[in-house]
Structure 1
Amino acid sequence: MTSIFDDIRSSFSRGNNALHQLIAINIVVFAVLVILRTIMTISGSGGTFAYLMTFLSISSNLGIFIWRPWTLITYFFTHLEFLHIIFNMLNLYWFGMLIREYLGDKKLVNLYILGGLAGGFFYLLTYNTIPYLQVRADNSFMMGASGSVIAIMVAAATLLPNYTFNLLLFGPIRIKYIAAVMVLLSISGATGGNAGGNIAHLGGALLGFLYIKQLQSGSDLGRPVQSVLDFFRGLFARRSPLKVAYKNPNRPFASPSSANTSTSPGSVTFNGTPSEDEINLILDKISRSGYESLTKEEKQKLFRASQK
């Protein structure tokens, strides 16, 4: 058990590890809720647990949602069924690896959060405007990362439509077809028993498609997300200790060797940030010919852009 906690702590202590961090958060929340549900059910407090879950899952009832606005975020980190979280985390890992490799950790986090928000807003909008769904609005709650995950799936398929996965029993299949099947299944299930979840899928899918198209046109829809995250990182970041400078009056000027902080001859540094036009050309090349077709310089430019 100690090693499990050590692994989780390690995943958050390392940089450029957003994919594993997202998966770890979902699994930890799932484990805590399952244990809590078991304990409360055995003790005869199952009804209380169900009530507590309404503070984590999003309600289609605007009268309830307006008093619990945080559920627009907490719902896409919340699962209670084993198959639900396994399916979501596997897809998050497979498609998230592609987004992370080609666009970087920040873009992956942007897609996860924006996909979840889009799914939640789409869920609220449809359940309060479409008559067929309005009759279900009072008793409808939704949870799960499906909206976020399908946003990442569709984003990957939009960026790399001809990239192939080897699926069991099916063999190599281009991811654009996998994403298309998921969207069609969500459309067909929008009037079924899990209408809310499937509607959230569609909101996430639309966001994933628009995110990549806007990124290719030079606009990153995720900048507000990163601004908010950077703000909270700043609140919890350790402040560096104060540095005390000592100036010797007999040596008012630094020696040439200490003043020169440039790199040694022959070393190469990459400080320039590639322009949006350069990144768009690289993304177009990936879409046409795959990541392997990029030159070393183009890969470095893409990596530097992903760190912005």
Structure 2
Amino acid sequence: MSGILDDFKDAFSKRNNGLVQLIWLNVAIYIFTLLLFVTFTLFFKGSNLYYTLLSYVSLSPEPTILLFRPWTLLTYSFLHHINPIVHIFPNMLMLYWFGSILQEYIGSRRLIGLYIVGAIFGAVLAVLAFNFIPYYHQNIVRTSIIGASGSVMAVVFAAATLAPDYSFFLFLIGSVRIKYIAFLLLIISLAGSIGANAGGEIVHLGGAIFGYIYIKQLRAGRDFSAPIEAVLDFFEKLFKRKSEPKIRVAYRQKEASYSSTASSHSGFPDEEEVDEILDKISRSGYESLTKEEKQKLFKASQK
């Protein structure tokens, strides 16, 4: 068990690891809710305490409920149904497949930002649909939405918009371009939007729409995930400052200064320069680096 906890901590200590962090977070929350469900079932039989607690983090399109639980516009996207487990498994599988493509192009921070804003966009679309379309409005009180599918659809459609001809090899089918996989998922969600899981399917459609818009706007120079990236940067710097020692020994500073000078004279970038370049990759992806920054990173790898 300690090994799993060490892996979890390690995933959140690494740079440019947003995809793995999102998957770990979803799995950890799933396990936590599973333990709660089992505990309440065994010791509070007949009690609705578990579902009462779950309602405080699930998305309800009912305005009077949502008004006092605005955080549910996001928290619902990190929750999954306990039974069956097939709710979380395909979501994490698709997040890994398509997120791997996306993270390589746009960077770790933007991937996290896309996941979060995609969840909010899908939630807002569901709230609007249930409040302004009569077909959905009749079930508004009974509707409660959880699942990462809206965020995952945002990642899927962002990847399909960015690299439509990238191919996956599917068992018994062969090589399939991801634009066709995305299109099939869109059709399935559209068909399901008038079924028993209408709320969830509308969130899927919202995520798909946002994923497409996000890449189109990013190419035009507008990053809709920038506010999320700014918040993540703020907390990273905050915790980084807290973890730094307040007192440094004088001879250590001189040694670091000498090392930095020697590094710059030998043509190798110093540690601070490398950290800045790695931070830029995390925020905007490898392709955002200038030619000089790529050369510095290459030289640093030769040390």
The CA deviation at 1:124 is 0.6
Q: Which has the higher helix share?
A: 2
2:265 maps to 264
Choose 129-138 or 232-241, whichever is displaced more.
232-241
Q: Is the 8 A contact 2:110 2:229 kept in 1?
A: no
Evaluate the alpha carbon distance shift between residue 101 and residue 185 of structure 1 in structure 2; reply closer, same or farther with a 3 A threshold.
Answer: same
1:132 maps to 135
Evaluate the alpha carbon distance shift between residue 298 and residue 115 of structure 1 in structure 2; reply closer, same or farther with a 3 A threshold.
Answer: farther
Stretches of 4+ moved more than 6 A in 1? Answer: 268-273
Amino acid at match of 1:178: I
2:33 maps to 33
How far apart, CA to CA, are the structure 2 residues paired with 1:299 and 1:102? 17
* Residue 244 (structure 2) aligned to one of 240, 243, 246: 240
Amino acid at match of 2:37: R
Q: Can you give the 5+ residue segments of structure 2 that lack an aligned partner in the other structure?
A: 251-257, 278-283, 298-303
Evaluate the alpha carbon distance shift between residue 213 and residue 260 of structure 1 in structure 2; reply closer, same or farther with a 3 A threshold.
Answer: same
Choose 100-109 or 189-198, whichever is displaced more.
100-109
The C-alpha deviation readout for 1:20-40, integer Å capped at 9, x for no partner, is: 111111011101111111111
Q: Is the 8 A contact 1:61 1:139 kept in 2?
A: no
- What is the aligned-residue identity percentage? 40
How far apart, CA to CA, are the structure 2 residues paired with 1:68 and 1:151? 23
1:289 maps to none
* Residue 166 (structure 1) aligned to one of 169, 185, 189: 169
Alignment of 1:3 with 2:3, yes or no, is: yes
How far apart, CA to CA, are the structure 1 residues paired with 2:136 and 2:8? 40
> How well do the aligned residues superpose, as a CA RMSD in angstroms?
3.1
How far apart, CA to CA, are the structure 2 residues paired with 1:137 and 1:258? 65
How far apart, CA to CA, are the structure 2 residues paired with 1:114 and 1:72? 10
Rg comparison, structure with higher value: 1
TM-score, scaled to structure 1: 0.81
Task: Report 1:221-240 matches (<5 A).
Answer: 221-237=224-240, 238-240=242-244
Evaluate the alpha carbon distance shift between residue 263 and residue 136 of structure 1 in structure 2; reply closer, same or farther with a 3 A threshold.
Answer: same
1:161 counterpart SS class: coil
Task: Report 1:248-259 matches (<5 A).
Answer: none
* Residue 104 (structure 1) aligned to one of 84, 104, 107: 107
TM-score, scaled to structure 2: 0.82
How far apart, CA to CA, are the structure 2 residues paired with 1:139 and 1:209? 31
Q: Can you give the 5+ residue segments of structure 1 that lack an aligned partner in the other structure?
A: 247-256, 274-278, 284-295, 304-308
The CA deviation at 1:231 is 2.8
The CA deviation at 1:235 is 4.0
Q: Is the 8 A contact 1:37 1:46 kept in 2?
A: no
